[in-house]
Amino acid sequence: DSGVTQTPKHLITATGQRVTLRCSPRSGDLSVYWYQQSLDQGLQFLIQYYNGEERAKGNILERFSAQQFPDLHSELNLSSLELGDSALYFCASSVAPGVNTEAFFGQGTRLTVV
């Protein structure tokens, strides 16, 4: 158990809908990262937060947004869903975004858009 909790584990929704994925980082970790894993794109970095502030942005679509709350949990919002958004979404956390610190991953949320 990595200590990073993601909910829900599975989500099935229709095209055009909006969903929210939730991540609770390990106790004491201030930095949260979101990744999308799909068969054709591999593991893509979406966005990173540190202590409530956006720190880095990757290949995140405009239809997607995220935030980190004062209690350090994070939510990833996906809207106007398309079939191609079906993927595994991982959250990871680390103490800080320092170069030597490792990131711990949650079990992921499997999103299926039908």
Number of residues that bind another protein (CB under 8 A): 27
Q: Verify binding: residue 10, another protein, rule CB under 8 A.
A: no
Distance CA 24, CA 106 (A): 9
Q: Which is nearer to another protein, 31 or 78 (CB)?
A: 31
DSSP code string of 81-103 = --GGG-EEEEEEEESSS-TT---
Q: Can you tell me which of 92, 93, 111, 113 binds another protein, judged by CB under 8 A? A: 92
Residues in contact with another protein by the rule CB under 8 A: 2, 4, 31, 33, 35, 42-43, 45, 48, 55-56, 58, 90, 92, 96-108
